A and B are shown apart, each in its own frame.
Chain A
Amino acid sequence: MTRVTAETHVCVIGAGIMGASAAFHLAERGIATTVVEKAVPGAEASGATAGTVALLRKPLALTPLAQRAIDLWETLGDRLGMDVGYERRGGFKVAHTDDDVKSLENTAAAGRALGVDVEMVYQPQLAAAAPYLSAKIVAASYCATDGLANPFATLRAFIRAARQQGASFWYGTEVTWVHQTDDERFLVETTRGTIRCSAVVAAAGAWNLEIARMVGVSLPLTTALLQVIVTDFGPSIFPHVVSHVRENVTLKQQRTTGKIMIGGGWPGDGDRTVGLKRIRRESFLGNLEWATEVIPRIADAHVLRAWTGFEGRTPDRLLISGPAGPRGFYLLGCSYSGFSLSPVAGQIAAEYIVLGQPTVPCECVSVQRFLPEAAEPLARSRDVTQ
């Protein structure tokens, strides 16, 4: 008989940006919440994001949600009582080749159809609007609502606000099993004791694969290890958020310090099961090369740090947020552009639990798109084969 050491209403697994956001939204609504994190907050994907907050995302299906997220970002700092570094900078997505330009034009048109204010800018107007761009750039799309925020500050703000509203955070604590009891509650066994709760939100990123399996849900989740790079103090070069249409480089620069965040989804080398992760040389140099291809003056900067984080990936790269498996079990996260969506993603999870239905349109992020069979409560013992 497992001894219960803590009782709560909702147990959130993972204190990345998704888990923290969910915990905040739950706690704000008065729901007793405990977050269990196996390492430290932001140890993986949430700590290795370039921090873009953008409206026009690939896949386009995420755009309506991204719009809601931006609305939340506007007042998030005030709501959380702590500056999250959100700034609307205006974003250029640039293209080198004719095919790239076509792709941009298509995405822009589709975006406009969804109500996004995005326009195409061609040379020579582009040179006037963004003089820092390489002359090899032939065109760009511009979206005035694109911006950035500070990933660690945002994570800390969510956690702080959640704690202020009564949520508990357990760090360095690993979930060893999740099972549903006869009365449809859950026992979450951890390395620091067992929690009994009425609902579980799995926001463990790449580790959602294992957590989902514990309750008999087979997620088509793969693991990716992504690198980001930041430069040292330096002069101001560009004010906008800049990315390439092929998404292999994203660039943003801090105003006060001139530090440049360089992203683009370049893969590192690692093994999640043994906690090994390191920078891949070709990715490091390739990412830098693309950065200077887009903004040549970046070559004057000095690389200060490069680091990685594991993320979970769904086949369509869309966010997952919704019920799966046993009643009361929810999955959250693993999204392309997760940081950008995090304020609304956590809200969706909270609303499922509190209201039974989210108030924002999120059909596209339902877990059911992977699990066509109706979710059945599976075996309650540990005899689920891995």
Chain B
Amino acid sequence: MVTERAELVVVGAGPAGLMAAIEAARAGVDVAVVDENRRPGGQIFRQLPDDFVVMDGARLGTEFRNGRQLLGELAGLTIRFLLGSVVWGSFEDRVLEVVNDDRGFRLESEVIVFATGAHDRPVPLPGWTLPGVLSVGGAQTLLKSQRILAGRRFLMAGTGPLQLVVTSQLANAGAEIVAVAEAVPMQALLRHVWPLIQGWRLTRDGIAYRWNLLRARVPWIAPSILVRVEGNEEVERATIATVDANWRPIPGTERTFKVDTVCVGYGLVPSVELLRLCGCALRYDETVEAWLPERDEWFETRKQGIYAVGDGAGIAGAAVATEEGRVAGLAVAARLGRISDAELRAAVSVPRRRLHRLGAFRAAMDAIYRVGPGLHELALPDTVVCRCEEVQLLDVQAAIEDGAVTLGQVKAWTRAGMGSCQGRMCSVPIAHLIARQTGGTVEGAGVHSALVPARPVAIRTLLADSQATRG
């Protein structure tokens, strides 16, 4: 099997990864960037397919333009892009196993920067598996990278900036937004005025999006939560309810809407599977309810030579991702002797200042939109919790009754987490279920084991160049 080599391998071609690659490459480091998508840009800077022709860039929004700008910075730099390539494992330090459509290969480097981004927080609730229910990130991806509205009549149910942005984008594109169910009341913002001022650009953008929706007369119902979706084979109705401060539905406040599409957006969860697979230490953060890699000030993890930046290390948005990538890229350049320590410190002073300001804003967002316990209590006994293996809440509860108190054990007893998505959609909800039923902590429920392969891989492709000896 072929082994490709680079000084720096960046996993993930979103803003964090691209910026790390750009800064390192500018300093003369030999960089290879791996991404499973066929185009760089990650989620936020999703580009249109090559075959689509942009007639009016203004219509595609600021994110499209910012993405184009970032990609423009690649010009003149020698960076190897390994697109349509999936990192599925690692058997030795800093040697990654990769497959693309044709073959498997190994990717060896001195340093790795993981910028693997995040995915939507899965929230099991009655009817969430009906066709027509999609994540708010999914609706945005369809819009950005395919210029398709996922349906006609939308109910948006979620919380925070991402829902606001996507709702605005969908409305601009002509979607009929029947209602937005936001779990956090407006007043919550007033308790964090100073950080909002510190991050004034982002606040200004937020106000603009909100104003956009007001003008379009999109009903904004807060605080409320999605409690049920119904339909025969597809979404036909969605029901929301007003919630208290703990996100628990208040009896008698249900409202049902006839819609064909429901976008669920209760936050993002960093994709840390590869970090775990490579042995990086993770810690559980209760505010954002996610496992995050432990990092130093240069964003190096506790595993030597492995850095983690962007949403893949903690949800903080594209602006933070870009600056983190910049800092890490420069740190790698210094580590590899391309720039001096003095040059490094000078180069990171502006990014660090930006990160400091953005950090305050981000902490406010985390506090304001912190998930309430009610979100984890929406599933009914027959609600599917593990989508892939069709495991219902009552199955999980029965397993916990039988003594399964870790994610691994619930998985062994119920099959939850044994499916194609490898636990990405069910680990978080099940950890909360274990904690609630056993009176323990979410952290104590453990993590989904870091197993190889990190994504399903085609056997044919794995064996295409294999030199494995016959037994």
Q: Which of A150-172 contact B (CB under 8 A)?
A: 152, 155-156, 159-160, 163, 169, 171
A300 vs B422: C-alpha distance in the bound complex, in angstroms? 19
Give B430-471 as 1s and 0s: 1 = Cβ < 8 Å from A's Cβ atoms: 000000000000000000010111001111101100101111
Q: Which listed residue, A41, A163, A232, touches B420 by the CB 8 Å rule?
A: A232
Cβ of B413 < 8 Å from any Cβ of A? yes
Distance to closest chain B CB from A293 (angstroms): 8
Contact partners of A233 in chain B: CB under 8 A: 420
Cβ of A112 < 8 Å from any Cβ of B? no
Q: With A286-B468, A306-B453 in contact, do A300 and B460 touch (Cβ < 8 Å)?
A: yes
Distance to closest chain B CB from A325 (angstroms): 30
What number of A residues sit within 8 Å (CB to CB) of B? Answer: 42
Q: Which listed residue, B91, B412, B420, B462, touches A304 by the CB 8 Å rule?
A: B420
User: Do B463 and A232 touch (CB < 8 A)?
Assistant: no
Cβ of B409 < 8 Å from any Cβ of A? yes
A307 vs B277: C-alpha distance in the bound complex, in angstroms? 13
User: Do A281 and B459 touch (CB < 8 A)?
Assistant: no
Contact partners of A42 in chain B: CB under 8 A: 412
Q: Which listed residue, B405, B412, B462, touches A171 by the CB 8 Å rule?
A: B405
Distance to closest chain B CB from A356 (angstroms): 32
Contact partners of B406 in chain A: CB under 8 A: 40
User: Do B451 and A299 touch (CB < 8 A)?
Assistant: no
A159 vs B403: C-alpha distance in the bound complex, in angstroms? 9
User: Do B457 and A169 touch (CB < 8 A)?
Assistant: no
Q: With A278-B91, A285-B466 in contact, do A305 and B418 touch (Cβ < 8 Å)?
A: yes
User: Do A292 and B420 touch (CB < 8 A)?
Assistant: no
Q: Return the chain B residue nearest A231 by Cβ.
A: B459
Q: Which of B404-435 contact A (CB under 8 A)?
A: 404-406, 408-409, 412-413, 418-420, 422
A357 vs B437: C-alpha distance in the bound complex, in angstroms? 43
Cβ of A58 < 8 Å from any Cβ of B? no
Q: With A40-B406, A306-B453 in contact, do A285 and B413 touch (Cβ < 8 Å)?
A: no
Cβ of B402 < 8 Å from any Cβ of A? yes
Contact partners of A369 in chain B: CB under 8 A: none
Cβ of A288 < 8 Å from any Cβ of B? yes
Q: Which listed residue, A47, A301, A307, touches B459 by the CB 8 Å rule?
A: A301
Q: Return the chain A residue nearest B456 by Cβ.
A: A302
User: Do B402 and A152 touch (CB < 8 A)?
Assistant: no
Distance to closest chain A CB from B410 (angstroms): 10
A178 vs B64: C-alpha distance in the bound complex, in angstroms? 68
Q: Return the chain A residue nearest B389 by Cβ.
A: A257
User: Do B471 and A290 touch (CB < 8 A)?
Assistant: yes
User: Do B412 and A47 touch (CB < 8 A)?
Assistant: yes
User: Do A156 and B402 touch (CB < 8 A)?
Assistant: yes
User: Do A302 and B458 touch (CB < 8 A)?
Assistant: yes
Contact partners of B418 in chain A: CB under 8 A: 230, 304-305
Q: Which of A264-307 contact B (CB under 8 A)?
A: 278-282, 284-286, 288-293, 298-307
User: Do B471 and A248 touch (CB < 8 A)?
Assistant: yes
Q: Return the chain B residue nearest A308 by Cβ.
A: B451
User: Do A159 and B456 touch (CB < 8 A)?
Assistant: no
Q: Return the chain B residue nearest A285 by Cβ.
A: B468
Contact partners of B91 in chain A: CB under 8 A: 278-281
Q: With A279-B91, A284-B452, A299-B460 in contact, do A152 and B469 touch (Cβ < 8 Å)?
A: no
Contact partners of A255 in chain B: CB under 8 A: none
Ordered by A's residue number, 18 sampled pairs between the chains whose C-beta atoms are within 8 Å are A40-B409, A152-B412, A156-B402, A159-B402, A279-B452, A286-B470, A288-B462, A289-B463, A289-B468, A292-B463, A299-B459, A300-B459, A302-B456, A303-B462, A304-B418, A304-B456, A305-B452, A305-B453
A-B pairs, 8 with minimum CB distance: A302-B456, A285-B468, A299-B460, A248-B471, A281-B91, A286-B468, A152-B412, A40-B409
| Residues of chain B at the chain A interface (Cβ within 8 Å) | 89, 91, 97, 399, 402-406, 408-409, 412-413, 418-420, 422, 449, 451-453, 456-460, 462-463, 466, 468-471
